Amino acid sequence: MPKLRLALAQTNPVVGQLSENLNACFDMVKNAAEHGANIVLFGEMAATGYPIEDLAIRNRFILDAASSIEAFASKLLNSGLGDTAVIIGHPAPVKSDSQRSGWAGAMNSASIIFGGKVHAQYSKHHLPNYGVFDEYRNFKPGSDLVVFDHSGLKFGIAICEDIWQSGGPVSGMKKAGVDCLLVLNGSPFEVTKGDERLEVIQDVARDQDCAIAYVNLVGGQDDLVFDGGSLMVDASGKVVGRGKQFANDLVIFDLIDKNNIEPVKASPADKPDELWQIWQALVTGLRDYVDKNGFKSVILGLSGGIDSAVCAALAVDAIGRSRVFGVSMPSKYSSEHSKSDAFDLATRLGIDCRTEAIKGLVKPVEKQLKAKDLASENLQARMRGVILMTLSNLEGHLVLTTGNKSELAVGYSTIYGDSVGGFAPLKDVEKTLVWTLAQWRNNFALASGEIEPIPKNSIEKPPSAELRPGQVDQDSLPPYDLLDGILAAYINERLSREEITSRGYDEETVTKITNLVDRAEWKRRQGAIGPKITSTSFGRDRRMPITNKYSG
Amino acid sequence: MPKLRLALAQTNPVVGQLSENLNACFDMVKNAAEHGANIVLFGEMAATGYPIEDLAIRNRFILDAASSIEAFASKLLNSGLGDTAVIIGHPAPVKSDSQRSGWAGAMNSASIIFGGKVHAQYSKHHLPNYGVFDEYRNFKPGSDLVVFDHSGLKFGIAICEDIWQSGGPVSGMKKAGVDCLLVLNGSPFEVTKGDERLEVIQDVARDQDCAIAYVNLVGGQDDLVFDGGSLMVDASGKVVGRGKQFANDLVIFDLIDKNNIEPVKASPADKPDELWQIWQALVTGLRDYVDKNGFKSVILGLSGGIDSAVCAALAVDAIGRSRVFGVSMPSKYSSEHSKSDAFDLATRLGIDCRTEAIKGLVKPVEKQLKAKDLASENLQARMRGVILMTLSNLEGHLVLTTGNKSELAVGYSTIYGDSVGGFAPLKDVEKTLVWTLAQWRNNFALASGEIEPIPKNSIEKPPSAELRPGQVDQDSLPPYDLLDGILAAYINERLSREEITSRGYDEETVTKITNLVDRAEWKRRQGAIGPKITSTSFGRDRRMPITNKYSG
């Protein structure tokens, strides 16, 4: 006989949108209650969205969030949902007698709501302050354990980082006799992070001899993508069921005891394909940036190359073909295939594509300023930027910038040229992965009986910026597999030049590439945001000085 | 009879440039020793520059810094300077048995060097992780006190934030019998911060009954400006002498005991004028960005308006007239005075100025894309951006972007237009302060018998972007004193819309302005860096989500 029905609610909140976020949570609780759930568990900061960054140090925001939680509790009671225990994440004010305002900062908390009231509040002990996280900046740590009983079972609470730190609150679960640990998470997607999460959860389950319900948020928030994929494991560490990845979901389990848990409504326990996950992460990040910021459509330059092709395909998957606009902007150096491949792509995707030649626009500037060489190359890219921004101003599109991570790393892009735009879908995707994704997406289409979205020619031809006659990327860069190897060692592994060379790379090449990376910091600092998919994305994940003479 | 001679050495390190920084320190020690100094105290991270940001989590950098300190100690000994005690700031590796590499992160440390060896190392206890600081991200805290004797006096050590935190290491100085606390600092300039520093130092001196030697770094590092202004106070809190502000300096005192200290070589104890300090901070930030990054010259658009006039004057004060290039870029809407005021400015400053009309460049784009209204206005600004970047590519100048803080706050600038550039001198200077500084600089010139650099007309005429006929800023914005009041309340004080309105501002205006601030976040994220002079500059000092629906 099941003792208790537990629902894991994956929601996609918008940062700062308190009432709408909590309305969505209310609907989830209602749905869960209709399925007979006794407890509904939400993600970290499900009420406010996550990360709230410096909103955490705006007094009024924290007080508003606290009031919203109280109103949410009352609404649940008044709607006949007072008997369902709801655990939801939100920031909570730290009360301090020494502060006139009664507010001395915020904690990253979870409230247990029952019978129209907040019965207890747990606050995160371990505040991550590495990578993209600034929680030690924005929150004060909690120090109490919260354990509660329901239907003869004992529950504990933890928030995200708490379970990654040995010796943290989680280490007291066994002693407290906890049957099931409820974990609220705002854990951004990273390639291979799903596996790491599962390992950590399984370790804690076995070590503390308790089941674990792990709820993650869903959706894009600026440069982060929360991938959902909530998990239920029993005390032996066995996965009982999952939530969907990259979609809102309500996952339901019956708990008989910590070793006997049955899925009522859940996805199977097997692991999804890695390239599918990456593609979905990019799609989700793009879609949510567009939709949460109220853009009706996106526009991007289509060069016939692989980067813009993959960006366009991502955009179509994210927001639909009718909302994606392409522009072919040939110059006097553009090859025939750069135009034909762009239109082939547009036809395959079914998106609007127009031609705006730049020749007649570049020429007057070139003439007036006597521009040549690099200045002239950059001028072409900048005129394309001007065209895209002007069309954006005229028609209201969000401009997508199509540069990939390898390019951004070495600064092979024109600032205020091909870098213009509000969102960079491939910002954290290295060039070799762009090709892999293109091939994967085409295969995925084939397998579904659909047209391959990306022209074969865009995948196969040698990459070129086409800013001077006959130019190809490999004139000035090593082959991309080699380049990406050096970049990953320097950026993600933070190795020294010497350590990278000792892996067998040519010393001169390593010096050249790493120096390019350092010198491009000022450009990256002015770049658009884009979805993080690796351990070390550009942006708040990697904070390097611009003025920096270190060369080790 | 003096017991001991103490030198406070203000240096201007470049981040990452280990040997050059330490060579400069060596010269300082040599100079100090020639003056008979027994102890030389440097600033926080004087060896590496500060802040080193994520260089702190590059294993090799930390090890290189540690080796450099050992080499520095040997060099001092070998040069006959082994008898001078040197206290210098640098990152130090945390040694951990559990790590294969022998490296488990870094600490923000100070080494006491004597007789060619590091005798003791103190590591900062309190790691600031607010505002522009990410030290909890980048360092591990120290926990030990370091006290040493010299010539019958007892010395303690603290690093920057340590003295701002009550109950920290500093609270043990009296008990330890310390006569003089040596404090190494990397304390960035902020208007009024000098006074705060002095108060804190005086409080600690009186409370712990010890003299305090406070050394601050000098110079610009990206968006931070270290203002020097080192201080010596006796145990009663009396200021005995200062170091120069915004310049390298070696300040020397004779310590008889904690209550009897005599300046040997120091600046007077009085406080410099606030507007002079701000001007110098902006000049220093600009000069060091240019010089440390190896730019020979700067270029900027001269519109005849106040912002570009003040930027040009700052640039001339920073790097000299021969390195500053102006460009007047009139459009069909440009007034006669916009051209004549630009050339008047150039003449007053003695800088090169050329005219590049944009009419013939804008027209083809306007025609091809059928641009009008906002698109057409932005297009003019973007064509100016194209011109400046092309000239930069052709001639090698750093482009300065001239926007002020009020403009950046409400997004009244064209992204990839007037915002182009690598450095933004007025990024943290609100519009009303731009006028005040212009007037101050002119008065300063008059008082020195020089020509006023900024044309009276640029100061007095109503500000306008001149992007359509008869346009002035106040068509769409409240008067600047009112605007700046609302902005300071919202940005620096982090007040809610309701709290700002309760100060007597019109509710509709407050709503409009604060909404503009929120909506411009994406543009600011792509903006150039510029020197911080207030408590809350844009950039890493204020980390707000772009996707953010909060409106409280």
Q: A530 vs chain B: nearest CA distance in angstroms? A: 12
Task: Find which of A365, A414, A468 to mutate to test the B interface (most B CBs within 10 Å of its CB).
Answer: A365
- In this complex, the residue of A17, A130, A137 whose CB is nearest that of residue B549 is A17
| B550·A134 Cβ contact <8 A | no
Q: Is B394 on the interface with A (CB under 8 A)?
A: yes
| B499·A222 Cβ contact <8 A | no
- In this complex, the residue of A16, A368, A552 whose CB is nearest that of residue B356 is A368
Structure tokens at B18: 């280990």
| A368·B391 Cβ contact <8 A | no
- In this complex, the residue of A134, A136, A522 whose CB is nearest that of residue B422 is A522
**Residues 123-142 in A contacting B (C-alpha not used; CB under 8 Å):** 129-130, 134, 136-137
Query: What's the pLDDT at A41?
Result: 98
Among left, alpha and beta (phi > 0; psi -120 to 50; other), residue A225 is beta
Query: What's the pLDDT at A314?
Result: 98
d(CA A220, CA A318): 12
Tell me the ipTM for this assembly: 0.96
C-alpha distance from residue A491 to each of A281, A381, A406, A486, B182 (Å): 21, 27, 11, 9, 37
**Residues 348-367 in B contacting A (C-alpha not used; CB under 8 Å):** 356, 360-361, 364-365
Tell me if the bond preceding B51 is cis, omega within 30° of 0: yes
Contacts of B55 in chain A (CB under 8 A): 544-545, 548, 550
- In this complex, the residue of B364, B374, B494 whose CB is nearest that of residue A361 is B364
The CB density around residue B154, as the number of other CB atoms within 10 Å, is 17
| A17·B550 Cβ contact <8 A | yes
Structure tokens at B348: 């007053």
Are A432 and A538 spatial neighbours (Cβ–Cβ below 8 Å)?
A: no
| B545·A16 Cβ contact <8 A | yes
Q: Exposed, middle or buried by CB within 10 Å (0-12, 13-18, 19+), for B165?
A: middle
Task: Find which of A68, A299, A361 to mutate to test the B interface (most B CBs within 10 Å of its CB).
Answer: A361
pLDDT digits (tens, 9 = 90+) for B465-490: 888 888 888 888 999 999 999 999 99
The CB density around residue B342, as the number of other CB atoms within 10 Å, is 28
Are A78 and A31 spatial neighbours (Cβ–Cβ below 8 Å)?
A: no
Among left, alpha and beta (phi > 0; psi -120 to 50; other), residue B258 is alpha
DSSP type of residue A94: P
Query: What's the pLDDT at A241?
Result: 95
Query: What's the pLDDT at A193?
Result: 83
- Closest chain B residue to A368 measured between Cα atoms? B356
| A550·B137 Cβ contact <8 A | no
Q: Is B527 on the interface with A (CB under 8 A)?
A: yes
| A15·B379 Cβ contact <8 A | no
| A393·B382 Cβ contact <8 A | no
* Annotation marks residue B160 as catalytic: yes
| B360·A364 Cβ contact <8 A | yes
Q: A341 vs chain B: nearest CA distance in angstroms? A: 23
Q: Which of A184-198, A250-264, B443-457 has the lowest mean pLDDT?
A: A184-198
**Residues 214-233 in A contacting B (C-alpha not used; CB under 8 Å):** 221-222
Q: Is A416 on the interface with B (CB under 8 A)?
A: yes
For residue A185, the cross-strand partners are: A216
Q: Is B548 on the interface with A (CB under 8 A)?
A: yes
pLDDT digits (tens, 9 = 90+) for A106-156: 999 999 999 999 999 999 999 999 999 999 999 999 999 999 999 999 999
> DSSP characters for B216-284?
E-EEEETTEEEEB--EEE-TT--EEEEPPBSS-EEEEEEEEETTEEEEEE-B-SSPPPHHHHHHHHHHH
- In this complex, the residue of A58, A59, A129 whose CB is nearest that of residue B137 is A129
Contacts of B548 in chain A (CB under 8 A): 15-16, 55
Q: Is B382 on the interface with A (CB under 8 A)?
A: yes
- In this complex, the residue of A389, A546, A549 whose CB is nearest that of residue B222 is A546
pLDDT digits (tens, 9 = 90+) for A222-238: 999 999 999 999 999 99
Query: Number of Cβ pairs closer than 8 Å across A and B?
Result: 224
Q: A547 vs chain B: nearest CA distance in angstroms? A: 6
Query: What's the pLDDT at A353?
Result: 98
Query: What's the pLDDT at A199?
Result: 95
Tens digit of pLDDT at every position of chain B (552 positions) = 558 999 999 999 999 999 999 999 999 999 999 999 999 999 999 999 999 999 999 999 999 999 999 999 999 999 999 999 999 999 999 977 555 556 789 999 999 999 999 999 999 999 999 999 999 999 999 999 999 999 999 999 999 999 998 888 999 999 999 999 999 999 999 998 878 899 999 999 999 999 999 999 999 999 999 999 999 999 999 999 999 999 999 999 999 999 999 999 998 777 789 999 999 999 999 999 999 999 999 999 999 999 999 999 999 999 999 999 999 999 999 889 899 999 999 999 999 999 999 999 999 999 999 999 999 999 999 999 999 999 999 999 999 999 999 999 999 999 999 999 999 999 999 999 999 999 999 999 999 999 999 999 999 999 998 888 888 888 889 999 999 999 999 999 999 999 999 999 999 999 999 999 999 999 999 999 999 999 999 999 999 999 999 999
Of chain A, the end-to-end C-alpha distance in Å amounts to: 64
| B386·A391 Cβ contact <8 A | no
Q: Is A378 on the interface with B (CB under 8 A)?
A: yes
> Which residues touch B8 (CB under 8 Å, ≥6 apart)?
B41, B213, B214, B215, B230, B232, B243, B249, B250, B251, B252, B253
| A365·B368 Cβ contact <8 A | no
Contacts of B547 in chain A (CB under 8 A): 14-15, 221-222, 288-289, 292-293
Active site residues of A: 44, 124, 160
Q: A550 vs chain B: nearest CA distance in angstroms? A: 4
Question: What SS3 state is found at B129?
Answer: coil
Query: What's the pLDDT at A95?
Result: 79
- In this complex, the residue of B58, B416, B545 whose CB is nearest that of residue A15 is B545
Residue B348 or residue A95, greater confidence = B348
Query: What's the pLDDT at B279?
Result: 98
Phi, psi of A323 (to 5 degrees): -105, 10
Query: What's the pLDDT at A268?
Result: 79
| A390·B374 Cβ contact <8 A | no
Mean pLDDT to the nearest integer, A178-192 = 96
Among left, alpha and beta (phi > 0; psi -120 to 50; other), residue B479 is beta
Query: What's the pLDDT at A4?
Result: 96
Residue A371: is its pLDDT beyond 70? Answer: yes
pLDDT digits (tens, 9 = 90+) for A317-337: 999 999 999 999 999 998 898
How confident is the prediction for chain A on average, in pLDDT? 96
